[in-house]
Amino acid sequence: MMLKKTICPYDCPASCGLLAETDGDRIYRMIGDPDHPATRGVICAKVRGYVKSLYHRERLLRPMKRNGRKGSGEFVPISWEEAADLIALRFGCIIKKEGPQAILPAVYSGVMSDIQRFCGHAFFNYMGASELVMSLCSSAKGEGYAQVMGKTPSLDPGELRDSDCVLVWGCNAAATRIHSMADLVNGKKQGKKIILIDTYENPTARVADEVVLIRPGTDGALALSLMQVLVEEGLADMLFLEEETVGAGELIGTLGDYTPERTEKITGIPAGRVRKLARAYAAAQAPSVLLGSGLSRHRNGAMAVRLITILPAFVGAWKYRGGGICGCMVSGGEVFRMDLIRRPDFRETPGRKININQLASALAGDIQGSPIKGLYVYGLNPANTVSNQKKLLEGLAREDLFTVVHERFMTDTARYADVLLPAAFSVEQSDVYRSYGYFTAGYAEKIVEPAGECKSNWDTFRLLAGAMGYRNSYFEKTEAEMVQKVLREAGSFLRERPADEWERIQGGGSISFPEADHQIYRTKSGKIEIVNREAEIPVPMYLQAEEDGYPLHLVSGPSVHTLNSTFGERADLRARRGVMSLLVHPEDAEMRNIRDGERVLCFNDLAEVEFQAEVTVRVKKGTVIAEGVYDIAHSLNGLTVNALHHERLSDCGAATTLNDNTVDIRPAGAAVDIPN
């Protein structure tokens, strides 16, 4: 038995270092790698049970083709050759009749390692297919931050240990940042101040000294109000603002509109709390913000992030180790050369862009140009994770749509496939990794052969390229050759690392980059850009959260026990997560005759979705919370929370606005038992 280094492939900020206990044929156990430079052996319960997923009896093991009504989940096994020929034939016909733009690849974050995630881009660039705009997660956050800080990396999470006051702002660290959660627990023991600002008392609240509940979508107003108090009470670092920022005076001139009394009406936070919060923030030596992504998933999300990003400058927080903002951008340069993997040069003409958040409408034909006739889904489970679920399922059910799904399990999307291909797990494939929350990168070599007839994304696209007749040396490389090429021709950031680290990465493992100096502002002006003349709105301001008719704001938060739709196969985790619930404030429940534990219908103009009500003061009056992504088999009425999400996009970054929807609720009548 040996322990082999590998890296967690899932969509989390850490890219945890793992050790797989193996005899070379089988993996017996997965533990944390104590030598990983950032995660140091700490891993989550989900991945500690990696082997349960890897050898799950419901894993897809061979290619199949549909043998029943679309969506019925009825399939018959076929060989890989038959599958590849069938796909090449059907795609070939579509291309001939409608052109390649009638084919849409759909990928997101099921696997986060670079080659497996992005090699399909090369295949579809070669084809000339439509292009998916991948903005299902935090592109509004990225834009909002960059408008102020440019390419300046935000704090390495390790630096939070040196902060004496952490505003955990719209972040459920207990679920999404377990290493920072450990630092928060320690920080609290040392008497540091930890304040959670969120739409509900999420599981991270247990480490907070104080929880500030805010009305969804109004964080920008809170940030401005904090700045207003800092200036009014003489707590702002005027010297820092003058020397290190652009446009502070112009913004300060607008702050009169954001007194705590005025913003109380917007945010629902009592004026006195805002004053107290501003004073605590200013009193700290090195105050930090740990910023989540939830608050950026609103129609004003990029602007909210922009305003929060400006706040640390008002107390000169960046001057101090541990001071500033964490959770926005890491890495100061190119680690691996993405162009080697994605091959934009393969494309002769620009592809038609289809935003992932509008996939439902695109499949329904609400797009410019030829209708989508071919869909290839991999590393994405849109039936459960994309907005407007009802319409999306109708689109997937179209008999004239030829759908290929490359998956590890029979997901709600896989059920709609015409051809269903079995995907490998991360330990069954080789790849390079970059973390998006820490300054680390690594390489993990295949440890065991794929189960059954499963194939990695790389091997699958290689096979399909052959069947399509694509002649290019790119498609001839083995996975191992491709990994070596990407390592050999790494980006400058990695190539500049010392020889011993370079060897370490080559041998399989992760390295960390030095923390960036956050007093060097990588913006055009070299300063923090409070006013940004190149932005559509140069002087930042609160963009009013838009109303759309229903009395309750719906927020979809992450579950501690699962990760997006990943791990849905695991009965142990499903049991811990429990039934699909909606957190409702007691007053909102009472006025609708809803009691704790009862079934409710949550509805808006898009759909009616059934939940079990959890009546609790953990949520603010006027807001309802749905944690986690459920599959349809474990829903209560055949739909999940994404059926209530509109396709609208954020102000910048064309991102999801999944937390920006309104609903109402009513009792749902008799309950039916749902198996867990």
- Among Mo ion, ligand MGD, none, what binds residue 558 when CB lies within 5 to 8 Å by partner kind? ligand MGD
In angstroms, the Cα distances linking 524 to 308, 392, 520, 521, 528 are: 20, 42, 12, 9, 9
- Among ligand MGD, Mo ion, none, what binds residue 12 when CB lies within 5 to 8 Å by partner kind? ligand MGD
Measured in degrees and rounded to the nearest 5, phi and psi for residue 623 equal -120, 145
Closest by CA position to 645, among listed 611, 612, 613, 602: 602
Asked whether the beta carbons of 179 and 38 are under 8 A apart, the reply is yes
- Among Mo ion, ligand MGD, none, what binds residue 340 when CB lies within 5 to 8 Å by partner kind? none
Residue 130 vs 657, nearer CB to ligand MGD? 657
Amino acid at position 664, single letter:
D
Residue 178 CB, shortest distance to ligand MGD, in Å, is: 8
The footprint of Mo ion on residues 78-97 (CB under 5 A) is: none
Residue 535 vs 629, nearer CB to ligand MGD? 629
Specify the stretch interacting with Mo ion by CB under 5 A; choose among 135-143, 164-172, 501-509, 593-601: 135-143
- For 47, the token pair is 């991945």
Amino acid at position 238, single letter:
M
Per-state percent for the chain, helix, strand, coil, to nearest 5: 35, 20, 45
Residue 241 CB, shortest distance to ligand MGD, in Å, is: 25
Q: Which residues bind ligand MGD (CB under 6 A)?
A: 11-12, 108-111, 116, 136-138, 169-172, 175-176, 197-200, 202, 214, 216-217, 219, 292-295, 298, 378-381, 385, 406-409, 411, 423, 457, 555-560, 563-566, 629, 641-642, 658-659
- Among Mo ion, ligand MGD, none, what binds residue 581 when CB lies within 5 to 8 Å by partner kind? none
Residue 46 vs 193, nearer CB to ligand MGD? 46
Amino acid at position 627, single letter:
E
Cα–Cα distance for residue pair 184/173, rounded to 1 Å: 9
Beta strands 552-557 and 661-667: pairing type? antiparallel
Residue 244 vs 631, nearer CB to Mo ion? 631
Kindly give, in sequence order, each residue whose CB lies less than 8 Å from that of residue 473, ignoring residues fewer than 6 positions away: none
Residue 113 CB, shortest distance to ligand MGD, in Å, is: 8
Residue 57 vs 96, nearer CB to ligand MGD? 57
Residue 640 CB, shortest distance to ligand MGD, in Å, is: 7
Residue 173 vs 468, nearer CB to ligand MGD? 173
- Among Mo ion, ligand MGD, none, what binds residue 407 when CB lies within 5 to 8 Å by partner kind? ligand MGD
Asked whether the beta carbons of 36 and 75 are under 8 A apart, the reply is no
Residue facing Mo ion at closest CB distance: 137
- For 439, the token pair is 């300054």
Residue 580 CB, shortest distance to ligand MGD, in Å, is: 11
Specify the stretch interacting with Mo ion by CB under 5 A; choose among 131-139, 328-336, 436-444, 498-506: 131-139
Q: Is the dihedral of CA 602, 607, 608, 613 positive or negative?
A: negative
Output DSSP code: residue 627.
E
Residue 137 CB, shortest distance to Mo ion, in Å, is: 3
In angstroms, the Cα distances linking 72 to 48, 64, 567, 607 are: 33, 13, 22, 22
| Beta strand residue intervals within 23-66, DSSP E | 27-32, 64-66
- Among Mo ion, ligand MGD, none, what binds residue 214 when CB lies within 5 to 8 Å by partner kind? ligand MGD
Residue 8 vs 282, nearer CB to ligand MGD? 8
- Among Mo ion, ligand MGD, none, what binds residue 154 when CB lies within 5 to 8 Å by partner kind? none
**Which H helix or E strand runs over 567?**
none
Residue 361 CB, shortest distance to ligand MGD, in Å, is: 17
- Among Mo ion, ligand MGD, none, what binds residue 323 when CB lies within 5 to 8 Å by partner kind? none
- Among ligand MGD, Mo ion, none, what binds residue 176 when CB lies within 5 to 8 Å by partner kind? ligand MGD
Size of the site for Mo ion (CB under 5 A): 1
Residue 436 vs 502, nearer CB to Mo ion? 436
- Among Mo ion, ligand MGD, none, what binds residue 379 when CB lies within 5 to 8 Å by partner kind? ligand MGD
In angstroms, the Cα distances linking 97 to 366, 461, 494, 514 are: 20, 23, 45, 53
Output DSSP code: residue 455.
B
Residue 176 vs 662, nearer CB to ligand MGD? 176
Residue 146 vs 639, nearer CB to ligand MGD? 639
Specify the stretch interacting with Mo ion by CB under 5 A; choose among 137-145, 245-253, 393-401, 658-666: 137-145
C-alpha 458: how far from its chain's center? 23
Residue 176 CB, shortest distance to ligand MGD, in Å, is: 3
Amino acid at position 281, single letter:
Y
Opening angle at CA 37, ends 32 and 40, nearest 5: 30
Cα–Cα distance for residue pair 224/263, rounded to 1 Å: 9
- For 594, the token pair is 């809803």
Residue 654 CB, shortest distance to Mo ion, in Å, is: 15
Residue 14 CB, shortest distance to ligand MGD, in Å, is: 9
Residue 671 CB, shortest distance to ligand MGD, in Å, is: 22
Closest by CA position to 497, among listed 331, 622, 673, 358: 331
Kindly give, in sequence order, each residue whose CB lies less than 8 Å from that of residue 207, ignoring residues fewer than 6 positions away: 181, 184, 185, 188, 194
Cα–Cα distance for residue pair 624/619, rounded to 1 Å: 7
- Among ligand MGD, Mo ion, none, what binds residue 294 when CB lies within 5 to 8 Å by partner kind? ligand MGD
Residue 363 vs 555, nearer CB to ligand MGD? 555
Residue 557 vs 653, nearer CB to ligand MGD? 557
Residue 134 vs 414, nearer CB to Mo ion? 134
Helix (H, G, I), strand (E, B) or coil at 405: strand
Residue 47 vs 313, nearer CB to ligand MGD? 47
Q: Does 137 bind Mo ion (CB under 5 A)?
A: yes
Specify the stretch interacting with Mo ion by CB under 5 A; choose among 132-140, 143-151, 393-401, 515-523: 132-140
- Among ligand MGD, Mo ion, none, what binds residue 247 when CB lies within 5 to 8 Å by partner kind? none
Buried b (16+ CB within 10 A) or exposed e, 156-166: bbbbbbbbbbb
In angstroms, the Cα distances linking 643 to 73, 323, 574, 583 are: 21, 40, 21, 17
Task: Please report how many Cα atoms fall inside a 13 Å half-sphere around the Cα of residue 104, on the Cβ side.
Answer: 26
Residue 557 CB, shortest distance to Mo ion, in Å, is: 12
Residue 12 CB, shortest distance to Mo ion, in Å, is: 9
Closest by CA position to 613, among listed 573, 561, 668, 564: 668
Positions touching Mo ion (CB under 5 A) are 137
